Amino acid sequence: MLKDIYLNNRFFYMMALSTITFVLAFSYPFLMVPAKVLLGLIFIITIIEYFFLNNVSRSLTANRIVAEKLSLGDEQLVEYEITNNSKLDINCALFDETPFQFQHRTSILFKEIKSNTSIKHDFEIKPIKRGAYNFGQLHSYISFNLPGLINKKVSFDIPFNSAVYPSVIQMRKFQLQVFSKTASLTGIRQIRKIGENDEFEYIKPYMQGDNIRSINWKATSRKSELMVNQFQDSRSQTVYCILDKGRSMKMPFNDMTLLDHAINTCLVISNIILQKYDKVGLISFSDKMGTVLRASSISGQLEKISKHLYKQKTGFKESNFKLLYHTCQNQITRRSIILFFSNFEHEIDLDRHLPYLRSLGKKHLLVVILFINTEIEKASKQKCLSKSDIYFKTFAERAIIEKEKIAYKLRMNGIQTILTRPEDLSINVINKYLEIKNRRLR
């Protein structure tokens, strides 16, 4: 029990005062009695306070509420509830054994708790890495306002395991934006559909206003009345998200790698694709092939994609585009839309892999998604105060021009390209998919 008792600052102040009084008592003997009385009072008050705190600690309860699945890169709340069931008011400092990924070592809160009351406190967290997050014990240090000479540690054994998945919060947010009437206000472009419905649905009797070019003459002759073919939008397009897990995707942005930004966007766009009644699949690769999930629109496909995205691991080695091409040739049997998340920093890197991208572009509608280095972009706009600033700014401007050349070269080879900042990735990919969908690009 005594190992959970910690001396407060007031105790040391009182002891310091007693020590000074004892020192002075050697010169002024009349101070010896007050010094002994003061020292005795300190120990008596400390013992009394210990027993009261010990009783209060038995009446203290605490709880932590945290989601089992946390969203990668989003701010979320952990809720703490502390209840003081005793008849005494206390001060409480709360410490949590948060997952090591957060590197949080300070108190969650320090607050007075009245007798027979509960307090709730929300603590904000932002996970920036996928994986398991383990919460340990919850520790509280309680004391009285007066005399407040000691603190008592009370621990609550409430371990909890959470897992950080690709952002479900972003997925739901963009779903609401895409399918709302005010989508254009959030950056979603509304693109006019071109052409007519092209997928046969059923045959129905002719009604005024129907297109006479849709008359089915064979059905008309059998029914002895005009019958027309009813068509609907094509809903069976196949979309694959391909994740490059190579070293080029290791670059950080807002404490997350480009790969993690791409993973979040894969979940977002997969949800939109399924909502549009298309099929979606997932492929990941680096020096070896990773996940190969066939495109489907069945119930549970989004959950499968989320689980595969959660497990993506890489050593950030050189990506094998030749292996990817042969895998796509064997696994993707029909012409599909391919959303390819990768990054090329130098034109020479693109030249090495361009033949495989061209071959993919001939068989499928390939969209390559590249990232703008926002730090270099900021550096190119800064004022130069020294020679080193001039050199750095010149280097930054050359890097930006080279990235634009890479995007231009891809477009000149018939490959649709998105050059985007990481923070705009999801919205730009959604807009490109909606453009392809509405303009019936194949």
Q: What is the mean pLDDT of each run of 10 residues along the chain (442 residues)?
A: 74 82 79 80 87 91 94 94 93 93 88 93 93 94 88 93 94 83 58 53 80 84 85 74 92 89 96 92 94 92 95 87 95 93 92 95 95 85 82 86 94 94 93 86 65
Task: Return left, alpha or beta for 193; rule: phi > 0 is left, psi -120 to 50 is alpha, else beta.
Answer: beta
Give Cα 65 to chain centroid, integer Å.
19
What DSSP string describes 71-138? ETTS-EEEEEEEEE-SSS-EEEEEEE---GGG---S-SEEEEE-TTEEEEEEEEE---S-EEEEE--E
Sequence spans of domains, the chain = 1-165, 168-192+234-438, 199-232
Q: Are 316 and 249 in contact (CB under 8 A)?
A: yes
The DSSP symbol for 346 reads: S
Domain 168-192+234-438 -> CATH class: alpha beta
pLDDT of residue 194: 47
Identify the three-state secondary structure at position 354. Answer: helix
Count how many Cα atoms sit within 13 Å of the Cα of residue 441 in the half-sphere of its side chain: 19
What's the confidence (pLDDT) of residue 183? 60
Distance CA 36, CA 329 (A): 91
Amino acid in the structure at residue 389:
D
CATH H superfamily, domain 1-165: Immunoglobulins (2.60.40.10)
| 119 beta partners | 82
**Both tokens assigned to 416:** 């649709």
Determine the pLDDT at residue 182. 57
Question: How far is 353 from 334, CA to CA, in rounded Å?
Answer: 23
The whole-angstrom separation of Cα 376 and Cα 305 is 33
Global pTM reads 0.81
Element (H, E) at 33: helix 32-58
